[in-house]
């Protein structure tokens, strides 16, 4: 097998298309064997034809079964065939977390000390060292291996339903006391249903955070048969939220209140529900994990009150 050498070109994202380019060598750059990366890439990329070796997993979106980068690798990139933004890795290839755009998309490489969970995507790009910032071949291979596994996480789409949260907690006991980037979940606020929460509930007004109780009796009743609302209320309970504007756009404040756990405490209603859930699922104090929320959610518009109207009869 020909051991083609791949040169990593500079790009704000780690672009596996560039990593897989063959027969290019420069003294000051990092080099990775093409054969190893081809085997670990999501689709399997053929650099000589600029095409994937198997069907693009997002073919319904890209409308291209095999062609890569819209047949224009100079202006487009799409590492492992998945699009969007952006998981972040250190120069050693270790997963650090995400910016404010979640897990999906092109990987960004930066110095670990410059990373802050939930940082803006613009700041992430400013601190990017690109693929050439990886310390070694081993770092690159570790990154690719981890990156390819992201699609198997329950939060890959930014949303988890109740049983996924329970399964994650059982698979990662002690995660709340020993949090790591890999045992946290990363959730998209734009996919949450806040039920009956309204602008008037934000006592501190626009531009400030206010404590919000999503776990209220009305939301609990409405969550029956509404998977999105149930998942939201189950995960959030009482949290701090920022009211961003008068249109009802909000963000979640990431602090201890966003921990996804089944520990007792709080209101009587919460304790009753937690006790019942622990009995039903076998969860205990060792189960729980940190949840990091990104993006902007939107409150539901108030429903207009129903009024019974009668037709006006003929005038005599």
pLDDT digits over 222-239, tens only? 999 999 999 999 999 999
CA–CA dist 53, 40 (Å, integer):
12
Asked if pLDDT for residue 20 goes beyond 90, the answer is no
How far apart are the C-alpha atoms of 253 and 257, rounded to whole Å? Answer: 8
**Sign of torsion over alpha carbons 11, 12, 17, 23:** positive
Joined together, the tokens standing for residue 17 give 């298309």
Q: What is the pTM of this model?
A: 0.72
Using pLDDT thresholds of 50, 70 and 90, give the confidence band for residue 38: very low
Let me know: does 109 contact 16? Beta carbons within 8 Å. Answer: no
CB hemisphere CA count around 222 (13 angstroms): 15
Percent of the chain with pLDDT over 70: 69
For residues 164 and 161, give the distance between their C-alpha atoms in angstroms, rounded to a whole number.
5
Q: Is the pLDDT of residue 79 over 60?
A: no
Please state, rounded to an integer, the average pLDDT across all residues of the chain.
Answer: 78
Average pLDDT over residues 133-137: 91
Lookup: tokens for 91: 């120069």
Q: How does strand 291-294 pair with strand 185-188?
A: parallel
> What domains does the chain contain, in order, with CATH numbers?
5-152 (no CATH), 162-298 (3.30.450)
In the predicted structure, residue 48 carries a pLDDT above the cut 60: no
Q: Is the pLDDT of residue 189 over 60?
A: yes
Specify the pLDDT at position 264.
78
Q: At residue 97, what are phi and psi to the nearest 5 degrees?
A: 145, -145
The answer to whether the CB of 24 falls within 8 A of the CB of 48 is no
């Amino acid at each position: 097998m020909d051991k083609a050498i791949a040169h990593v070109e500079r790009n704000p994202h780690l672009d596996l298309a560039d990593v897989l380019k063959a027969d290019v060598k420069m003294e000051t750059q990092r080099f990775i064997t093409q054969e190893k990366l081809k085997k670990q890439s999501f689709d399997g990329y053929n650099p000589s034809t600029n095409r994937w070796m198997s069907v693009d997993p997002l073919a319904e979106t890209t409308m291209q079964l095999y062609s890569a980068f819209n047949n224009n690798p100079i202006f487009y990139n799409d590492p492992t065939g998945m699009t969007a933004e952006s998981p972040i890795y250190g120069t050693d290839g270790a997963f650090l977390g995400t910016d404010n755009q979640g897990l999906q998309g092109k990987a960004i490489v930066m110095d670990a000390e410059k990373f802050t969970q939930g940082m803006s995507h613009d700041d992430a790009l400013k601190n990017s060292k690109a693929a050439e910032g990886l310390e070694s071949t081993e770092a690159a291979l570790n990154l690719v291996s981890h990156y390819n596994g992201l699609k198997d996480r329950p939060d890959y789409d930014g949303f988890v339903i109740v049983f996924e949260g329970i399964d994650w907690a059982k698979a990662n006991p002690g995660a709340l006391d020993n949090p790591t980037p890999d045992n946290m979940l990363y959730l998209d606020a734009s996919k949450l249903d806040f039920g009956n929460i309204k602008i008037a509930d934000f006592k501190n007004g626009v531009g400030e955070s206010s404590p919000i109780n999503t776990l209220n009796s009305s939301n609990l009743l409405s969550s029956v048969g509404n998977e999105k609302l149930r998942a939201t209320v189950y995960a959030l309970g009482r949290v701090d939220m920022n009211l961003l504007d008068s249109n009802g756009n909000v963000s979640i404040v990431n602090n201890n209140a966003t921990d996804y756990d089944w520990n007792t405490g709080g209101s009587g209603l919460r304790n009753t529900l937690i006790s019942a859930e622990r009995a039903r699922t076998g969860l205990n104090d060792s189960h729980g994990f940190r949840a990091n929320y990104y993006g902007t959610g939107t409150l539901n518009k108030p429903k207009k009150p129903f009024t019974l109207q009668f037709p006006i009869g003929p005038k005599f």
